[in-house]
């Protein structure tokens, strides 16, 4: 297991899976997007045509939806950054014994199904919900905050805020605390320490967080469908409608490719903007110097220093509330004696919704499909990610980091493009069972997360033990079984639990691939939340939340939650 160029071949199974279940669907989408005809049964043409793109760009509705989606993604990324900084700083300053609990505040919402979190936002913003009640108590006129851009933006911020927090935590926790202490010793207050020390040094993490949140928010459609009430249209909803309902695959594919292009452009712009603000990373001279007269600067600094502690505490409470409070509302609504899932006013206590869920054969059947899918996904992801992690850690070739970035590529591209492409491939190759198509895509989505966790575990192995075992004559297979595997046990267990939760709760891509005979439980509750809002939805959602909490408690027994992310 020493460093060797031949170790790079261990990444071959992972690479082959990406070619079959990621590159092939993406290629199918690219091919569909350049078809001349939009007819469902029109033969495929290898001669590229811009007809679909011309139709999109020539229709004001599509252009407006596309631009609104871009602005929505940028707004969600900005709002997530504002809320994430105080929460990430709070996590870095927690005592070690409380850090796992602090991380649970971030990880429980992150790993909870997106439909569940959207239902929580609906209950929060409902006409007689918490926000409406607070507004009326303050003398404000009653307003319906649902079914608008604010509601969709808040929902997406709640969904993707954890990614921003974790991206910032990585760099903030690694900062030299003596720099902040030195600034404080020179008389800098909290505001100046943040602006002059913490913020500049955390910009690489901010770049990663902005990129991830924008990519995910600009391609999301589940929250927009539920919270927007079909009054707010985003590109993902149009792709789903054109591809699944109208069966206009070429137009849907063209819009998906436009979203992919926009994601690449915005990612480059974010990187260059952060690069201009961090010239010390590349050794360049600063391009932009800001200065102001002392008579203006001093009052601004005084105001900033006075407001900083209050503002930071307010944003911290707001961030935790945005993450946790909607989930608590779902749990309360699950025992509310009202037939409507969106009624925020508590009528009376009842367990009947749980009874109806447990007696409904459709729910139980779909739950079993989800379990089978998640277990199969974890088994395959582990089988390809574990060898790949050894390739990335121990292979001695120059392109190792490039290979690592290529293996993580599915996280950087729109999931709906993969889902649409796999749907079309399943229609072309009818011999492939739908379950295999869904499983293939789930592995593509889950394997990169498991690879990241396993790669850190492999890097932390004590290689002297392996050398000692080899020196005593143990063959490589025995060294792996008796020495390496026991050390990797906790890391493998954690990766499998996280992978199971991610696969079990996946909706965005799975919604493209399910059929009447193959339905997962998350897609079932998404469909029921869209068309009928019985309170059984909240009961199922609460079961999702409790399952996530229980699984994270299990993870914490193997490894503290704060160490899970740092690995």
Adjacent-strand bridge partners of 336: 349
Q: Is the predicted pLDDT of residue 432 greater than 80, yes or no? A: no
Q: Is the predicted pLDDT of residue 176 greater than 80, yes or no? A: no
Higher pLDDT, 183 or 382: 382
| pLDDT for the residue 243 | 82
Residue 246 DSSP class: S
Q: What is the mean pLDDT of residues 43-53?
A: 82
558-567 pLDDT tens trace: 777 766 655 5
d(CA 239, CA 496): 32
Q: Mention every residue, 6+ apart, whose C-beta is less than 8 A from residue 433.
A: none
| pLDDT for the residue 66 | 93
Q: Mention every residue, 6+ apart, whose C-beta is less than 8 A from residue 274.
A: 203, 204, 206, 207, 210
| pLDDT for the residue 1 | 44
Higher pLDDT, 180 or 249: 249
Closest CA to 71 of 154, 162, 149, 160: 149
**Percent of the chain clearing pLDDT 70 (strictly above):** 90
| pLDDT for the residue 279 | 62
Average pLDDT for the chain: 82
d(CA 330, CA 117): 8
| pLDDT for the residue 528 | 77
30-42 pLDDT tens trace: 888 888 877 766 7
Low-confidence winner among 94-98, 148-152, 266-270, 487-491 (lowest mean pLDDT): 487-491
Higher pLDDT, 398 or 206: 206
d(CA 327, CA 309): 28
d(CA 482, CA 445): 31
Question: Got the DSSP string for 125-157?
Answer: HSTTSHHHHHHHHTTPPP---SSSHHHHHHHHH
**pTM for the whole structure:** 0.84
Q: What is the mean pLDDT of residues 315-331?
A: 91
């Amino acid at each position: 297991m020493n460093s060797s160029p031949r170790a790079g071949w261990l990444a071959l199974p992972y690479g082959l899976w990406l070619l079959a279940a990621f590159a092939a669907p993406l290629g199918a989408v690219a091919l569909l997007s350049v078809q001349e005809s939009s007819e469902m049964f029109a033969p495929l043409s290898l001669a590229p045509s811009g007809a679909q793109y011309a139709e999109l760009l020539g229709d004001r509705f599509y252009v407006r939806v596309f631009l609104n989606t871009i602005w929505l993604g940028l707004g969600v990324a900005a709002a997530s950054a504002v809320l994430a900084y105080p929460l990430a700083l709070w996590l870095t300053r927690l005592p070690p014994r409380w850090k796992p609990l602090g991380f649970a505040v971030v990880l429980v919402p992150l790993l909870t199904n997106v439909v569940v979190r959207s239902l929580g936002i609906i209950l929060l913003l409902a006409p007689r919900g918490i926000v409406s009640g607070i507004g009326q108590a303050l003398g404000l006129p009653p307003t319906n905050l649902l079914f608008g851009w604010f509601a969709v933006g808040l929902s997406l911020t709640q969904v993707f805020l954890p990614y921003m927090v974790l991206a910032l935590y990585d760099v903030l926790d690694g900062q030299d605390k003596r720099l902040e202490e030195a600034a404080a010793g020179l008389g800098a207050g909290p505001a100046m320490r943040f602006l002059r020390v913490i913020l500049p040094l955390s910009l690489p993490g901010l770049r990663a967080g902005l990129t991830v949140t924008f990519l995910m928010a600009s391609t999301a459609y589940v929250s927009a469908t539920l919270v927007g009430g079909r009054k707010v249209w985003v590109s993902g909803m149009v792709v789903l409608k054109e591809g699944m309902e109208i069966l206009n695959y070429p137009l849907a594919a063209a819009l998906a490719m436009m979203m992919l292009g926009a994601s690449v452009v915005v990612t480059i712009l974010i990187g260059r903007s952060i690069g201009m603000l961090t010239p010390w990373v590349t050794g360049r001279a600063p391009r932009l110097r800001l200065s102001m007269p002392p008579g203006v600067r001093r009052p601004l600094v005084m105001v900033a220093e006075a407001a900083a502690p209050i503002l930071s505490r307010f944003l911290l409470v707001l961030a935790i509330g945005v993450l946790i409070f909607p989930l608590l509302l779902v749990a309360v609504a699950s025992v509310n004696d009202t037939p409507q899932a969106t009624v925020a006013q508590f009528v009376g206590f009842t367990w009947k919704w749980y009874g109806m869920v447990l007696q409904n054969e459709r729910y139980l059947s779909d739950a079993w499909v989800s379990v089978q899918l998640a277990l199969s996904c974890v088994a395959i992801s582990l089988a390809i990610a574990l060898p790949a992690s050894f390739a990335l850690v121990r292979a001695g070739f120059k392109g190792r980091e490039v290979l690592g970035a290529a293996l993580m590529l599915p996280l950087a591209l729109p999931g709906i493009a993969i889902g649409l492409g796999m749907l079309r491939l399943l229609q072309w190759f009818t011999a492939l069972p739908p379950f295999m198509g869904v499983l293939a895509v789930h592995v593509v989505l889950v394997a990169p997360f498991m690879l990241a966790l396993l790669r850190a575990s492999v890097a932390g192995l004590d290689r002297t033990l392996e050398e000692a075992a080899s020196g005593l004559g143990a063959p490589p297979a025995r060294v792996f079984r008796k020495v390496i595997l026991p050390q990797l046990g906790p890391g493998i267990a954690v990766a499998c639990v996280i992978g199971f939760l991610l696969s079990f709760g996946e909706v965005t891509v799975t919604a493209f691939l399910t059929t009447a005979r193959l339905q997962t439980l998350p897609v079932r509750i998404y469909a029921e939340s869209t068309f009928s809002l019985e309170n059984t939805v909240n009961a199922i959602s609460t079961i999702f939340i409790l399952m996530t909490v229980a699984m994270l408690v299990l993870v914490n027994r193997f490894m503290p939650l704060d160490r899970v992310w740092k690995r």
